[in-house]
Structure 1
Amino acid sequence: MFNLLSKAPSSAKNDILSGLTVALALVPEAVAFAFVAQVDPLVGLYAAFIVGLITSLLGGRPGMISGATGALAVVMTSLVVTHGVEYLFATVVLMGILQILAGVFKLGKFIRMVPHPVMLGFVNGLAIVIFLAQLGQFKVLGDDGQMQWMQGEMMATMLGLVALTMAIIHFLPKLTTAIPSSLAAIVVVTGLVLGLDLEARTVIDFVKDMTGDASATIAGGLPEFHIPQVPLNWETFQIILPYAVILAAIGLIESLLTLTLIDEITDTRGQSNKECMGQGAANLTCGFFGAMGGCAMIGQSMININSGGRSRLSGVTAALMLLAFILFAASYIEMVPLAALVGVMFMVVIGTFEWSSFRIMRKVPKSDAFVIFLVSAVTVATDLAIAVCVGIIVSALVFAWQHAKHIYTESYIDEEGSKVYELHGPLFFGSVKNFIELFDVKNDPKDVIVEFKHSRVADHSAIEAIDNLAEKYTKQGKTLHLRHVSPDCKQLLHKARDLVEINVIEDPKYRVASDKLG
């Protein structure tokens, strides 16, 4: 569990350098998300350190970066405004417990059921969200106390430095891979700004604008153990439970989808249930150390992967470097130009967005193309959890609609004069209407056999349809035989139970999804 090197020791250099790059990019993100949640910047920075460190050690995906995120900060805002930051810490503790339970009960495996069009929409939507989030760095605090777009020379300098950063990241790997191109770009642009004394916004300028405090800093001490100061009663539990459930769900969905994405990029496989427990342990710790909690960060994870970070060492390095910035090097990190970090994130956007999705739109079914667009749009308009849920629901409905038309029968008269219907295709809630219409109850002979060998009875709606069919034949004075229906199906049948022909050797053993069996 604590083996920091997933590959040969020679990867240590890349992991350490990529971790340093990620740590630099974490600072403005953590401060911004703390501002969204309306808590002190250090609450966000401590969360980035604690979540990043623990998930790197205990999580199921080496190389993935976790920290304070905007998806969670948006939900936290109303809780902090209404009840205060202490209730936030208590909520984060409960959130961590719920995520650990999700791992214990192995719920992480269900992320593998997310359809590929939903994954494409998720990636594209997050790329757009990351891009839009960077636009805020092009604004400054105006005389009226409102954020306004940069003007004139300041905007030109910002755009020029961003372009330079992106150029270094793009072209440097063609010359050498000895140092991560993102880190090299940050160092070069920072040196250029300091050496030429350019008028460029820095990390500390951003922190001051976010907090509205001219003396603000990212410097601080070690996180201290802190039991949330809330009443330990039923009323408190009722307040924090809804927030904890939502935060736990959003955190796990974003983390597990990011895990799946990194799996595809690196051609490896993470452990989803282990990641659930790692995220839970991290958030549980956050709640007791005055931090806002967090989850996986796709932007920083992509920076890490693109910079050569593959093992747990890269995530641990990023977390420890961030803590070192807070404790010892705040004054130096505060001088880093925002343009360099924006340029890094813009390259992440370009690398994250699935540009191939435009090409395949005309080649995939229209329903899949619609799901890709829908999930992307909902991700930008609302949040990731809602977008993924909407995408899965739409995909499931499309699947049900398509398979509802796949049920059919092949009928013939056997040697005994009975009419046999050989049923093909799944029988479930979506196909029961078509199922009933397959039978000619009025004109069928006195003896009818329904053969289920090539069909699958999937749910209770299918059981009800079989019962209704049996009742129709009984009212016509005809005998219906049900052949090769599984024992659990027979258990659920009411009117048609006695019509089932038992064949111990050939009858299937599959299970029907039904509340009555639960």
Structure 2
Amino acid sequence: MLNLSPADLKTNLLSGLTVALAMVPEAIAFALIAQVSPLTGLYAAFIVSLITSAFGGRPGMISGATGALAVVMVALVVEHGVQYLFATVVLMGLLQLLFAAARLGKFIRMVPHPVMLGFVNGLAIVIFLAQFQHFKVPAADGGTTWMATGPLLLMGGLIALTMAIIYLLPKLTRAVPATLVAIVVTSVLVIGVGIETKTVGDLGSIKGGLPDFAIPAVPMTLETLKIIFPYALILACIGLIESLLTLTLIDAMTDTRGRSNRECAAQGAANVVTGFFGGMGGCAMIGQSMINVNNGALHRLSGIATALFLLSFILFGSALIERIPLAALIGVMFVVSEKTFEWGSFRLFGKVPKPDVFVGLLVAGVTVIADLAIAVIVGVIVSALVFAWQHAKRVRLSSSIAPNGRKIYEVEGTLFFASVTTFAEQFSPSDDPEEVEIDFRGARLMDHSAIEAVNALAERYDRAGKRLTLRHLSPDCVRLLDKAQKMIEVDYKEDPRYYVADDALA
């Protein structure tokens, strides 16, 4: 940070202020979803943003209280109270530290590109739809209803003004973030003219002091652990999935590479601290991260500035911040949603395999109707099944009869759990001649199922009284084969070198 140029310093500080303004209503809304006080969400936003920005693996990424975590927390808070939530957040952070120590962050590389596209598009839709809750007001029956036509149109006009400034100002100047200018101009217009519209203060007061350290007031018993552990595990996984996918997205946008395990450790440490200071925990926020990246703020200073501005709002600026019209912040999030959505993905229809298109649509849909973690897990599983099915169909056998009467089978493709049945069905020991050879030069045996399939085939030929020779197996296959040992012909010059995924090799 000390080596930043004056231009970078200005960019990161102004972007930090912009992101902090956009985080206030989000943090309050997520706190209300989790049925805790607004300050519980704001303290989480401040602490998580500060620690992850200072020590995390992706400079420029913004973390704080998120809706994905809030929807899981609400059941715990309703049933057991907020102190159990704080204890759960501490345990969540400890689990994330364990994941970092085990270096599990690298497994984010296993997420296929169609899943990433679905994740991005699904979250863009979620961000867009989430803004519509601000167009509602309390109803007489205790629920909510849409605003009257006049206030609704007024709010829509202010949103349009905000979005117009964000899109048009960069064509005139980039000296200051267009998002910040849009918020300031819309706020000055509303306050100066005295326009009656919903403001940040309508969501709840943000006035408070410094967060106090306190050990969660829960019984230190095994029964407490049984209550909080399932929630902590789910929250830890959701938090890391959302954070690491956001990290990967920013890597792609900036052509740089973040450090996934370091980010896991920073997220874990941030949540441990947050739990002891009365916060609801958090993870990466894709909307605020996109604001930051689009502003060109790619240094740690931007996230640290965001956290410090948030704290200053709580301590000193609550009266002013609470007067900011929600329309300005909704307009910002609409723009974030539009810029986050991968519009180019529509051009992929007809150009990429249909299963990839299906996976992308599936992940986006599940993200919208369920949550991110479930969507990503479903997407990875479906992608893996599609991959397995496609490779299972690629096992091919050709046979020929040598001059000496020996029948030679040549195997091509990948032999693994999904293809072993097709492989085995193509042999008929009772119909084959007395001498049979299977050549694996063009095949790879990938797992224990493949080894067992070869062993079973060897037994079939042995029972039929036929002589079977196996050629061109990798050395580790030779070691793992049991029943077929006497049938293997080893050629160290010709045999391929690869390793079978099997517990015996672990």
Which residue is equivalent to 1:72? Answer: 69
- Give SS of 1:453's match: strand
Q: Distance in 1 between matches of 2:107 and 2:200?
A: 40
Which residue is equivalent to 2:439? Answer: 451
Report whether the alignment pairs 1:87 with 2:87: no
Q: Distance in 1 between matches of 2:445 and 2:224?
A: 46
Which residue is equivalent to 2:134? Answer: 137
- Give SS of 1:228's match: coil
The alpha-carbon deviation at position 4 of structure 1 amounts to 6.8
When structure 1 is superposed on structure 2, of 344-353 and 88-97 the one drifting more is 88-97
Letter in 2 for 1:458: M
- Give SS of 1:482's match: strand
Match of 2:472 among 484, 489, 493: 484
Which residue is equivalent to 2:200? Answer: 203
Q: Distance in 2 between matches of 1:16 and 1:314?
A: 6
Q: Is the 8 A contact 1:43 1:292 kept in 2?
A: yes
Q: Distance in 2 between matches of 1:487 and 1:236?
A: 52
When structure 1 is superposed on structure 2, of 113-122 and 507-516 the one drifting more is 507-516
Match of 1:97 among 91, 94, 97: 94
- Deviations along 1:295-346, one digit per CA (max 9) or x if unpaired, are 0000111111112211111111101100010011000100100000000000
Q: Distance in 2 between matches of 1:52 and 1:349?
A: 21
Alignment CA distance shift 1:101-1:308 (3 Å): same
The alpha-carbon deviation at position 231 of structure 1 amounts to 1.7
- Deviations along 1:20-63, one digit per CA (max 9) or x if unpaired, are 00000111100111111111111110000011011101111111
The alpha-carbon deviation at position 414 of structure 1 amounts to 4.7
Which residue is equivalent to 2:147? Answer: 150
When structure 1 is superposed on structure 2, of 233-242 and 346-355 the one drifting more is 233-242
Report whether the alignment pairs 1:31 with 2:28: yes
Aligned ranges 1:114-193 → 2 under 5 Å: 114-193=111-190
- Deviations along 1:164-205, one digit per CA (max 9) or x if unpaired, are 000000000000000100000000000000111111111001
Which residue is equivalent to 1:214? Answer: none
Q: Is the 8 A contact 1:18 1:314 kept in 2?
A: yes
When structure 1 is superposed on structure 2, of 341-350 and 85-94 the one drifting more is 85-94
Q: Distance in 2 between matches of 1:158 and 1:326?
A: 26
- Give SS of 1:258's match: helix
Which residue is equivalent to 1:272? Answer: 260
When structure 1 is superposed on structure 2, of 502-511 and 454-463 the one drifting more is 502-511
List gaps (5 residues or longer) in structure 2. Answer: none
Alignment CA distance shift 1:408-1:9 (3 Å): farther
Letter in 1 for 2:421: K
Letter in 1 for 2:393: K
Which residue is equivalent to 1:389? Answer: 377
Match of 2:105 among 92, 103, 108: 108
When structure 1 is superposed on structure 2, of 299-308 and 498-507 the one drifting more is 498-507
Q: Distance in 2 between matches of 1:459 and 1:386?
A: 28
Q: Is the 8 A contact 1:93 1:287 kept in 2?
A: yes
Alignment CA distance shift 1:508-1:129 (3 Å): same
- Give SS of 2:408's match: strand
Letter in 1 for 2:54: L
When structure 1 is superposed on structure 2, of 380-389 and 148-157 the one drifting more is 148-157
The alpha-carbon deviation at position 126 of structure 1 amounts to 0.5
Q: Is the 8 A contact 1:259 1:272 kept in 2?
A: yes
The alpha-carbon deviation at position 506 of structure 1 amounts to 4.4
The alpha-carbon deviation at position 246 of structure 1 amounts to 0.5
Report whether the alignment pairs 1:437 with 2:434: no
When structure 1 is superposed on structure 2, of 176-185 and 109-118 the one drifting more is 109-118
Q: Distance in 2 between matches of 1:97 and 1:502?
A: 51
When structure 1 is superposed on structure 2, of 35-44 and 183-192 the one drifting more is 35-44
Q: Is the 8 A contact 1:86 1:230 kept in 2?
A: yes
When structure 1 is superposed on structure 2, of 497-506 and 321-330 the one drifting more is 497-506
The alpha-carbon deviation at position 490 of structure 1 amounts to 3.3
Aligned ranges 1:179-328 → 2 under 5 Å: 179-207=176-204, 217-328=205-316
The alpha-carbon deviation at position 143 of structure 1 amounts to 4.3
Q: Distance in 1 between matches of 2:185 and 2:90?
A: 41
- Deviations along 1:464-485, one digit per CA (max 9) or x if unpaired, are 2111211121122111122232
Q: Distance in 1 between matches of 2:352 and 2:496?
A: 35
The alpha-carbon deviation at position 8 of structure 1 amounts to 4.6
Q: Distance in 2 between matches of 1:52 and 1:116?
A: 28
Letter in 2 for 1:190: S
Report whether the alignment pairs 1:462 with 2:450: yes
Match of 1:344 among 332, 338, 343: 332
- Deviations along 1:205-241, one digit per CA (max 9) or x if unpaired, are 122xxxxxxxxx2111111111111222222111111
List gaps (5 residues or longer) in structure 1. Answer: 208-216
Q: Is the 8 A contact 1:486 1:510 kept in 2?
A: yes
Q: Identity over the aligned pairs, expressed in percent?
A: 64
The alpha-carbon deviation at position 509 of structure 1 amounts to 4.5
Q: Distance in 1 between matches of 2:414 and 2:472?
A: 14
When structure 1 is superposed on structure 2, of 324-333 and 225-234 the one drifting more is 225-234
Match of 1:43 among 40, 57, 61: 40
Q: Distance in 1 between matches of 2:446 and 2:337?
A: 42
The alpha-carbon deviation at position 128 of structure 1 amounts to 0.8
When structure 1 is superposed on structure 2, of 383-392 and 354-363 the one drifting more is 354-363
Q: Distance in 2 between matches of 1:316 and 1:505?
A: 59
Taking structure 1 as the reference length, what is the TM-score of the superposition? 0.94
The alpha-carbon deviation at position 370 of structure 1 amounts to 0.9
Q: Is the 8 A contact 1:303 1:348 kept in 2?
A: yes
Cα RMSD (Å): 1.6
Q: Distance in 1 between matches of 2:227 and 2:476?
A: 43
Which residue is equivalent to 1:210? Answer: none
Letter in 2 for 1:171: L
Q: Is the 8 A contact 1:51 1:293 kept in 2?
A: yes
Taking structure 2 as the reference length, what is the TM-score of the superposition? 0.97
- Give SS of 1:450's match: strand
Q: Distance in 2 between matches of 1:517 and 1:482?
A: 21
Aligned ranges 1:404-443 → 2 under 5 Å: 404-414=392-402, 417-443=405-431
- Give SS of 2:203's match: helix
Q: Distance in 1 between matches of 2:2 and 2:450?
A: 52
Letter in 2 for 1:137: H
Q: Distance in 2 between matches of 1:496 and 1:285?
A: 58
The alpha-carbon deviation at position 507 of structure 1 amounts to 3.8
The alpha-carbon deviation at position 293 of structure 1 amounts to 0.4
What is the number of residues matched between the two proteins? Answer: 506
Q: Distance in 2 between matches of 1:100 and 1:482?
A: 48
The alpha-carbon deviation at position 503 of structure 1 amounts to 3.5
Letter in 2 for 1:89: F
Q: Distance in 1 between matches of 2:488 and 2:94?
A: 48
Letter in 2 for 1:499: M
Letter in 2 for 1:228: P
